[in-house]
Structure 1
Amino acid sequence: MLAFTHWLRTDPRRLCVVGVWLSLAGVATTFTSLTSGQPLAGLATGLLLTAIGSWTKAAGRDLFRRDRTLRRCAALHPRD
């Protein structure tokens, strides 16, 4: 699990992609739960997956922006 977390954090774009996939899985779970016999359990799971996916995507986007800003600052002010 730690290796997977490290793999995600080394490139923030990966975190965004995982967030998008989690959100899509949540939407699909929500949709199928509405057409199945167990709507409440599936609906709760789908909404939870969508929320986690959205949070993960936002975290990846923030890390990507922070990384890009740090690289720009380092390019403008190189250390000797």
Structure 2
Amino acid sequence: MDSFFEKIGMPNVLSIAYPYGQFNAKIVNEALVQGYKLGFTINPGFVYQNSSPMTLNRMVIMPGKSLSKFKAMLSGRGYR
């Protein structure tokens, strides 16, 4: 059976951003059943090679963040 996206001529979507960042084991399992390969939370932090692909952290960059503060975030200093 074709996915919704395939039916409208789009490539199949492989990742999901959980609505409002909310997820639990049931939601993650259903996303896997539906064919998603990556799941994005709103949990702050880095993604590492051994991070769970279905519960990936994010770094939120708000408007007005200076380049120096952005660099500090990426280096692990001054996150938030």
Query: What's the TM-score, normalizing by structure 2?
Result: 0.25
Q: Counting helix residues as a fraction of each chain, which structure ranks higher? A: 1
The structure with higher relative contact order (CA 8 Å, sep 6+) is 1
Query: What's the TM-score, normalizing by structure 1?
Result: 0.25
Higher Rg: 1
Q: Counting strand residues as a fraction of each chain, which structure ranks higher? A: 2
